[in-house]
């Protein structure tokens, strides 16, 4: 696996003061350390965003802070929704030989030369219900992607479930095997359903989660929001 590294420094700025860190190109973070006292840290925003984009929540990140090195997984990342800028990272320290849970993307795998399932090549629609799953494995065994055989999707009504996933050795899925990942539909049926819905459904508003293990953080408007201890 690719080794991702970050060098962070101890953070003494808490509460409303973190807003000034962010405007100065510094992102606050916290490392949860096996039930011990959390390590409150900060680092260069550009470097932290780059590592998050590449490591996601399923690659280990080696974090050096306060003279110590921690093997971690990124548990949570918060973004300012309007500018999509990284505002906070939460790391979980992990043991190299201890199984951990992580969210892994799910992708279809096709025969060589094919860019879609038989259903899609025939003009049908394949609609995904699940694009990531939670698995358990030791950190070094966590895969980048878990695949299913997309060639099984041929006719209307065909579907694949969690139980159809092709699991690497040492990886256990924490989801229900019967949970549907993708289903084949007739395009006209999907269009009719959309017309019947009338486009009246509104997406749910996004909510920001406050990182655990810290004192109060601040929103972009400067309002204090409590965090869990």
Domain ranges of the chain: 4-94, 100-197
Task: Considering only CA atoms, give the Rg of the chain.
Answer: 21
Residue 210: predicted pLDDT: 40
Write b or e for each residue in 28-49: b if 16 or more Cβ atoms lie within 10 A of its Cβ, otherwise e.
bbbbbbeeeebbbbbbebeebb
The span from the CA of 15 to the CA of 173, in Å, is: 38
Residue 221: predicted pLDDT: 37
The span from the CA of 27 to the CA of 172, in Å, is: 34
Q: What class has domain 4-94?
A: mainly beta
Pairing of strands 159-161, 180-185: antiparallel
Residue 23: predicted pLDDT: 86
What is the layout of strands, in order, in the sheet containing 125-128? 125-128, 180-185, 159-161
Helix or strand (DSSP H, E) at 47: helix 45-55
pLDDT tens-digit readout, 39-84: 999 999 999 999 999 998 888 999 999 889 999 999 999 998 888 8
Average pLDDT over residues 81-106: 90
Select the more confidently predicted residue: 50 or 199: 50
| DSSP, residue by residue, 123-192 | T-EEEES-SEEEEEE-GGG--S-EEEEGGG--STT-EEEGGG-BPPTT-EE-S-TT-EEEEEE-HHHHHH
Task: Check for a shared fold between 4-94 and 100-197.
Answer: no
pLDDT higher than threshold 90 for residue 2: no
CATH superfamily of 100-197: Ribosomal protein L25, C-terminal domain (2.170.120.20)
Residue 209: predicted pLDDT: 39
| Sequence-distant (≥ 6) Cβ neighbours of residue 138 within 8 angstroms | 96, 97, 98, 99, 100, 170
């Amino acid at each position: 696996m690719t080794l991702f590294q970050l060098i962070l420094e101890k953070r003494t700025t808490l509460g409303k003061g973190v807003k000034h860190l962010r405007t100065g190109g510094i992102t606050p973070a916290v490392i949860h350390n096996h039930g011990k006292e959390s390590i409150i840290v900060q680092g260069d925003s550009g470097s932290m965003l780059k590592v998050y984009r590449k490591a996601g929540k399923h690659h280990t990140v080696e974090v050096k802070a306060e003279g110590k090195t921690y093997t971690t997984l990124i548990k949570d990342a918060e973004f300012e929704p309007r500018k999509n800028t990284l505002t906070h990272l939460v790391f979980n320290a992990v043991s190299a030989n201890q199984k951990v849970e992580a969210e892994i993307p799910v992708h279809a795998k096709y025969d060589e030369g094919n860019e879609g399932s038989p259903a899609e090549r025939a003009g049908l629609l394949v609609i995904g219900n699940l694009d990531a799953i939670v698995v358990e494995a030791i950190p070094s065994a966590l895969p980048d992607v878990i695949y299913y055989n997309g060639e099984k999707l041929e006719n209307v009504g065909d579907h694949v479930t969690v139980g159809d996933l092709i699991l690497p050795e040492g990886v256990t899925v924490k989801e229900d095997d019967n949970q549907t990942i993708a289903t084949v539909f007739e395009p006209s049926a999907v269009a009719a359903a959309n017309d019947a819905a009338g486009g009246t459904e509104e997406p749910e508003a996004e909510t920001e989660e406050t990182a655990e293990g810290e004192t109060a953080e601040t929103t972009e408007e400067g309002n204090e929001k409590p965090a869990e201890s």
